[in-house]
Amino acid sequence: MRLSAPPITLSFSICGALAIWAACWPATLAQPPAARQGRGRQGGARPQDTEVWDPEPKVVTPGAVDSDPPSDAIILFDGKNLDEWVNTRDKSPANWVVHDGVMTVKKGRGASNIETRRSFHNYQLHIEWKIPENVTGTDQGRGNSGVFLASTGGGDAGYELQILDSYHNRTYANGQAGSIYKQGIPLVNPARKPGEWQSYEVIWMAPVFNADGSLNTPAYATVFFNGVLVQNRFELKGETLFIGKPFYRKFDSAPIKLQAHPDPSEPVSFRNIWVRELN
């Protein structure tokens, strides 16, 4: 491509001053020939008219691989301890089992959901989970857990993104892995077989409430399951309920909660959990 400087007189009329012209010069160079010749222009509009330079996005250092936390992430579990978690039941230190860099649901006596010490509003969440290879059971009683994207109270109160063994294990579609429980059927089922690690990448936009408690803006969830889109900015109708129609209850920020489901199947494990606040 032939490159030549724009005529000096034109450059002054565009940029006004030599210093500004110098700043404009690389952008001028970057235009394809047709645009530089004015084809497709809107009433003499200039390329620079639609350039936005500020604010400049903050630099974030990505992980070595996309599943690694970027530099601005809050690490919720890196395989070492449960310092970021408490038992939902009484807010005591989380009592799930940590072994070989993995946390596993504690079932039976003393079982409790666990939730983050911190509260979040809007965020990006990365979480990896595994159904045990020796899992037994059927339907909802096979590898059931869940990520509550906002925990609004004790037990299962809040907004659950379901975890379940959905590899050749039929259940109601709005209750399988990748569903927003009893509300959002996943677009597809990309579940891996038991014994293999799986991932959720979530964008959670919390609901916004008016001062009187009425809903201003609903919650939205976007979810990639093993890298496959399963919830595309899904609009929630309220908290996810086991029984009954969903409805909203006012809150602002809330912990993220993991479910110790009471079914008797072998417990689900988790690793590599991090969050980026989007407020």
Query: Residues in contact with Mg ion, total (CB under 5 A)?
Result: 3
CB of 113 to Mg ion, least distance (A): 10
**Beta carbon nearer to Mg ion, 146 or 184:** 146
The residues with which 128 forms a beta bridge, in sequence order, are 199, 271
The residues with which 234 forms a beta bridge, in sequence order, are 221
Residues 219/184, Cβ–Cβ less than 8 Å: no
What is the C-alpha to C-alpha distance for residues 32 and 42, in angstroms, rounded to an integer? Answer: 16
Contact letters (x/-) for Mg ion, 54-73, by CB under 5 A? Answer: --------------------
Helix (H) or strand (E) holding 214: none
**Beta carbon nearer to Mg ion, 11 or 145:** 145
CB of 166 to Mg ion, least distance (A): 12
**Beta carbon nearer to Mg ion, 110 or 262:** 262
Residues 228/234, Cβ–Cβ less than 8 Å: no
CB of 193 to Mg ion, least distance (A): 19
CB-based burial label for 121 (10 Å; 0-12, 13-18, 19+): middle
Indicate whether 231 belongs to the interface with Mg ion (CB under 5 A): no
Residue list 240-279, contact with Mg ion (CB under 5 A): 259
DSSP letter at 201? E
Q: How far is CA 93 from each of CA 76, 86, 116, 269, rounded to the nearest angstrom?
A: 14, 4, 10, 18
Contact letters (x/-) for Mg ion, 123-162, by CB under 5 A? Answer: ---------------------x-x----------------
CB of 189 to Mg ion, least distance (A): 16
**Beta carbon nearer to Mg ion, 11 or 259:** 259
What is the C-alpha to C-alpha distance for residues 6 and 21, in angstroms, rounded to an integer? Answer: 10
Indicate whether 207 belongs to the interface with Mg ion (CB under 5 A): no
Instruction: List residues near Mg ion by CB under 5 A.
Output: 144, 146, 259
